[in-house]
Amino acid sequence: MTVGGIFTAIVAGIVIGALGRLIIPGRQAIGWILTFAVGIVGAFVGGFLANGMNIDVWWQIFIVQVVVAAILVLLINSLLRSSMNKRSARR
């Protein structure tokens, strides 16, 4: 992954994290920093996935990064929310 690819992955992760926080109404199960971190990890995974699929056009790589990061943020948020709901139901 090139320096430009790393920068793009970081920006994509932060943007996806911010958009995810804005789209989901109410209180989220994860904080801003964890949302950004999960978004960045998802964007890196998406970049490696796009590289593995031999995608070499920058905007196609960006789309794969965004999709993977969004799915990962949604998955982590849903898992944490369901565990918080189970915990509060026990009380």
- Mean pLDDT for each consecutive 10-residue tract of the chain (91 residues)? 80 78 69 82 88 90 84 82 69 59
Confidence (pLDDT) at 54: 94
Domain boundaries, given as residue ranges, for the chain: 3-84
Q: For the chain, what is the largest distance between any 2 Cα atoms, rounded to a whole number of angstroms?
A: 52
Give the Cα separation of 21 and 32 in Å (integer). Answer: 8
Q: Which two tokens stand for residue 56?
A: 């070499």
Residue that the structure tokens 């799915």 belong to: 71
Confidence (pLDDT) at 49: 93
Residue that the structure tokens 């905007």 belong to: 59
Exposed/middle/buried for 23, CB within 10 Å: 0-12, 13-18, 19+? exposed
Quick one: DSSP state of residue 29? S
